[in-house]
A and B are shown apart, each in its own frame.
Chain A
């Protein structure tokens, strides 16, 4: 299973919006409604931000939103804040109890 494709980095100023894409295939991103997004600050535990493509766990700010079109899922962070600076990974269920992650995107707040 090949890793999902994400941009290596995105950046934005505080208050702006950034969108991270996550491109897979019809066997993963496009084939199941089980795309999750994780925020990872180095040295810390990854944190679930979005599940089932668009849903937000309780406690995650509504600045974070997910969407999908075909084989590409996206995470949008609106109203960017300094604490949003982290690595973000998409993850898709790929059938037969297996998962595939994206290569990760570093979000920089300018």
Chain B
């Protein structure tokens, strides 16, 4: 069974940093691109960042460019999101998702980890 388990969320002050992790199991992790999506309180889903299976390609929403870094460890089957210079508007539940091999989109999601940026 494919499973994605996010961790690393918490309370951080504006301007601070946080690293999210997503532990993957049940599939050949290195074969799949992965994605981070977030949902701010009372808002819809927002695509944040994606990374190719090898890690050689990384992609960011404008809201994340220059502040967030996506990476992966294919030996540890883990996806990461390093978030720096955090702002109040980054407060959200962050989901990791596995991309499909057969279409542009995500086919399996984790349950999310909550990030709160507040002083």
**A interface residue numbers (CB < 8 A to B):** 1, 3, 32, 34, 36, 38, 40, 43-48, 51-52, 55, 57, 89, 91, 93, 96-104
Contact = CB atoms under 8 A, between A and B. Distances in A.
Contacts of A103: 43-44
Nearest to A104: B44
Contacts of A45: 4, 95, 108-112
A98 B95 contact: no
30 contacts: A1-B61, A1-B62, A3-B44, A3-B46, A34-B103, A36-B105, A36-B106, A43-B111, A44-B111, A45-B109, A45-B111, A45-B112, A47-B109, A48-B106, A51-B100, A51-B105, A91-B45, A91-B105, A93-B105, A97-B50, A98-B47, A98-B50, A98-B59, A99-B47, A100-B47, A101-B37, A101-B44, A101-B46, A101-B47, A104-B44
Contacts, number: 72
A6 to B, nearest CB: 8
Interface of B: 4, 35, 37, 43-47, 50, 57, 59, 61-62, 95, 97, 100, 103-112
B50 A34 contact: no
For A32, A46, A96, A103, the residue with the greatest tally of chain B CB atoms inside 10 Å of its CB is A46
Contact of A48 (B44, B45, B47, B107): B107
Nearest to A32: B104
A54 to B, nearest CB: 12
